[in-house]
Structure 1
C-alpha cells in the first residue's frame, strides 16, 4: 500500500461513513519495533471507519490486530505479545478543542481535522501505546514455578507503610 493510501481527508471520510482496511508488516512500524527483539514476519490487520453522530460530531474508529515479539524482562526469553487496539477518535477543527475535557475519561481521544491525516502514523502510535512498558510473561516457562509465582506476587502486593503508625497517633 502506498503512503498516499494512508492519507485521509477527515471531513469526507467521516461525512461519507467511509471505511479503509489493510495490512501492515510489523517491520514497517519502525518506531514501534525500535529496541525490540527481531520481529518474525508478523502482520497487523487494521481498519478505520468514519462516522458522524446526531450532534454532527465526527469520529474515526481505528482497529488494529496483530502481535509483536517482545523479550520478557523476568526470564529474558522472547515471547509473542498480542496487540489489540480499538480506539475511537473525535475529529475536531481547532487545536484548542484537542485539549478540552482531556481529564474526562468519558471523552474520546481527539485528532485534528485535516485534508491529509496520516493514518499510518496513527496506526503506529496506537500499536506503541498498546505495548507493555515492562514486557513479561504471566508465568515464565524457563523459571521454576515457585520463583516465577513469588516474583509475580511480589509485584502485586504492597509493603506495609512504615508511617502508618504515625497516622494512627495523629488521629488520637
Structure 2
C-alpha cells in the first residue's frame, strides 16, 4: 500500500492494522530541525503503527452517528541542538495519538476544541500518512531543546566551592 496516497476512510472501515518505517530524509520539515553537527549516521528511521476504528454513537432523538478514529504510534529519535551548550544531542520522539477523522474542513471546524480524547484531522481518499506522521513529530519536538545535563556543565560539587554572594553579605551584617 502506498502510504503517501491511500483511502483513509476505507482503511478505517477495514479495521486492519498497518505498520512500517519512514526515513528522516522523507520528512524535509523535520529534517530541517536536525542539528547541523549531528553524527553522519544520523539518518534515522521512524517506526510507525496505525489502527483505524469506527465508533457508533447514539444521540438523543437522532439515529446513530459514526465517528472515525485512527490510533497512531511513532517511535524514533532526532539529533537536536541543545539551547544551553549548543551541542547536538539525541532526542527521543515517541508519539502516541488518537485522531478523529472528519470528512471535510467544515466538519473539522465544527468539532469541539476541548475534546481531550482526540485531535481532529480531515481525511481523504488520497491521504498522505507520511505528511501526517511528520506533522505529529514536529508537534512532539521540545520548545527549548536541551540536554538533561550538558556535557560541559559545572557539577554541583564544584559549584559549592564558590562562596555564595549571600553568605558574604551575611558576614558583613554580623560584623557590624
- Measured against the shorter chain, the TM-score band is 0.7 to 0.9
Larger radius of gyration: 2
How many pairs align? Answer: 146
1:101–1:107 Cα contact (<8 Å) kept? no
In 2: Cα distance, 1:127 partner to 1:35 partner:
11
1:142-162: CA deviations, max 9, x gaps? 111249x9xxxxxxxxxxxxx
1:84 maps to: 94
Matched residue of 1:46: which SS?
A: strand
Structure with greater proportional helix content? 1
Q: Which runs of 5+ in 2 are unaligned?
A: 58-65, 160-176
Q: Under a length normalisation based on structure 2, what TM-score does the superposition of the two structures give?
A: 0.75
- RMSD after superposition: 2.2
The residue matched to 1:117 in structure 2 has which SS?
coil
Greater CA drift, 94-103 or 15-24: 94-103
TM-score normalized by the length of structure 1: 0.76
> Gaps spanning 5+ residues in structure 1: where?
150-172
- Give the Å deviation of 1:35: 4.3
Distance 2:71 2:89 in 1: 29
Alignment of 1:43-62 (within 5 A): 43-55=45-57, 56-62=66-72
Q: Is the 8 A contact 1:49 1:62 kept in 2?
A: yes
* Equivalent of residue 4 in structure 2, options 3, 6, 9: 6
> CA–CA distance in 2 between the matches of 1:21 and 1:81?
22
